[in-house]
Amino acid sequence: MKKITLFLVTLLGVYTVSAQSINDALVYSQNTTFGTARSTGIAGAFTALGADFGGISINPAGLGLYRKSEFILSPSLSFAKDKADYLGTSITDKRSSFNFNNIGLVFSSGERNKQNRKKEVSPKDWRAVNFAFGFNRLSNYNTRQSISGYNTETSISDYLAEQANLANVSANDLLTNIESEYAEASLAFNTYIINPLDVTANTYQGIATATEVDQTQTRVSNGGKNEYLFALGANYKDRLYLGASFNFDTYRRKTETSFIEKDPNEVTLLSLNYGNGNASDILGFKSLNINRTISETGVGVNGKFGATYRINQIFRAGLAIHTPTVVQIDRDYSTIMGSDFVVIANNNGLNYDFSESYFYDGNYDYRINTPWQLSTGAAVFLKNFGFISLDYNFVDYSQMTFSFDSGIEDATLANSLNQSIRDTYTAASNVRLGTEFSRDIFRLRAGYAFTGSPYRNAPELSSHTLTGGFGIREKKVYFDAAYAHKMQKDTYSPYSLTVTEAPKANLKQSRGNVVLTVGVNF
């Protein structure tokens, strides 16, 4: 594991392919989907509701409201659209993917107890004890983002030179130690992307320091977060509903980044002397390319506890607490770095192309603790018309933490990352509002969700989600369909610099999700 590099880049906010970013903790702490088509249709406002498999992941007390056993299946189709404005150029990318939002089984004693109560003088206090197991998809990582622009001020080679300067190593070390804590700087040196500025002081500069370059980058992400749950819900006098779930989360995320930088003028920046008495060859920079791949798989465990109280036939209230998820992540990473030059050979007057390419990879494990979550909700039921439901969710992202293997360096790294988390993130308030209109066997749904920004100094980076859907309910089978459309703004930089501000891309993101749910009661 590249511990020294990780520590340095954490302090400076500069991230290599092998380094840990505090954004990883945020990605694994947030949920981006709502579950079944019914819960999606009302934007996940299910803390005070129940009898929905997707709602179990929001408030397991809703399991106590089941009267019948059921099997459910929810295929979904997701759409991602990203518009990036970078250095005056706009690019729009689209991505679609097919998944299953959930598959689940619910076993309810409610129908049997209802029949038994008819035969008794005084009904049982505990009307039903229900069990459920299956999975809900909580996040979708399938996206594609591209940026492109003409940069007249900085180059990614400046960032790589800074890495070498921070490492404070000799040119010989950079040349021979590719598998080291300063691996990307070593790759850049071997491909002539960075070169010595002062050999005695171990300082370096980027190949494109004095030029203007075309920059293009594409990031493609795949994967998602699934929650495998075992839940228990109980119904006390058709008034109080209690629930708890034990959850086993799985994570899979792969991100491939391709960065290309070109100098259309092939500006001469470097002289090469082979030590044979001939005049130096002149190297004209043409382009560089950096291809990074990060693949992560992980598992996590958490618990969820909830209660729902039926105040009367009109009003209902709910409360749910989610414990932190302890996530163990295994990361594989690799970088391929290459460069192209035109060489002007002074000794013979011939010009020729020259290129270099080097590769390194590695693996390490780390852990993330996600924050506690608290949700409260209220619902109003209108007889023969449906309901309106409102949820409030609170989560403090500054409480996310990293941990690594035991040791002084790992502890120092974890402390530095966790301090960066506290400095960068803050508590967020999330609001979900949903309504369902019912008439005979038909259901019509709509919802809105506001997700507060997790960033301390960027409250504008919140998101808004509009949802809608419909359903058909028969005695033995039901069908629901829904669509959720999420809109969000963000910023992104392909590299960071300590002296000069690196260019940033302004992102406009939209996410669409079509969910179909089929349920069979038995």
Is 219:255 a contact under the CB 8 Å cutoff?
Answer: yes
* Bridge partners of residue 520, in order along the sequence: 71, 477
Residue given tokens 């003028």 in the structure block: 265
pTM over 0.85: yes
Q: How far is CA 129 from CA 153, 270, 307, in A?
A: 66, 76, 14
Return the pLDDT at 212: 84
Q: Comparing C-alpha atoms, which of 208, 202, 78 is closest to residue 151?
A: 208
Is 76:103 a contact under the CB 8 Å cutoff?
Answer: no
Q: How far is CA 34 from CA 139, 210, 213, 394, in A?
A: 9, 50, 43, 17
Q: Which two tokens stand for residue 65?
A: 């409201």
Return the pLDDT at 280: 57
Is 205:33 a contact under the CB 8 Å cutoff?
Answer: no
Return the pLDDT at 9: 37
Return the pLDDT at 413: 84
Task: Report pLDDT digits (tens) over 155-201.
Answer: 999 999 999 999 899 999 998 888 778 899 999 999 989 988 888 88
Return the pLDDT at 118: 53
Return the pLDDT at 82: 96
Q: Comparing C-alpha atoms, which of 245, 240, 238, 241 is closest to residue 104?
A: 245
Q: What are phi and psi of 229, to 5 degrees?
A: -125, 150
- Structural domains of the chain ordered from first start: 3-155+207-521 (2.40.160.60)
Return the pLDDT at 271: 53
Return the pLDDT at 177: 84
Return the pLDDT at 239: 96
Give the strand pairing for 194-198 and 442-451. unpaired
Name residues of the chain where pLDDT drops below 70.
1-20, 111-123, 209-211, 266-282, 344-352, 406-409
Residues 6+ positions from 233 with CB-CB distance below 8 Å: 50, 56, 60, 61, 62, 63, 64, 65, 66, 128, 129, 130, 131, 132, 241, 242, 243
Alpha-carbon gap, residue 97 to 364, rounded angstroms: 29
Return the pLDDT at 348: 57
Give the strand pairing for 401-403 and 350-369. antiparallel
Burial annotation 80-114 (CB, 10 A radius, 16+ → b, else e): bbbbbebbeeebebebebebebbbbebebbbeebe
Is 56:132 a contact under the CB 8 Å cutoff?
Answer: yes
Q: Comparing C-alpha atoms, which of 311, 319, 312, 138 is closest to residue 244?
A: 319
Eight-class DSSP state of 455: B
Q: What is the DSSP string of 158-213?
A: HHHHHHHHHHT--HHHHHH-SSSTTHHHHHHHHTTSEEEEETTTTEEEETTTTS-E
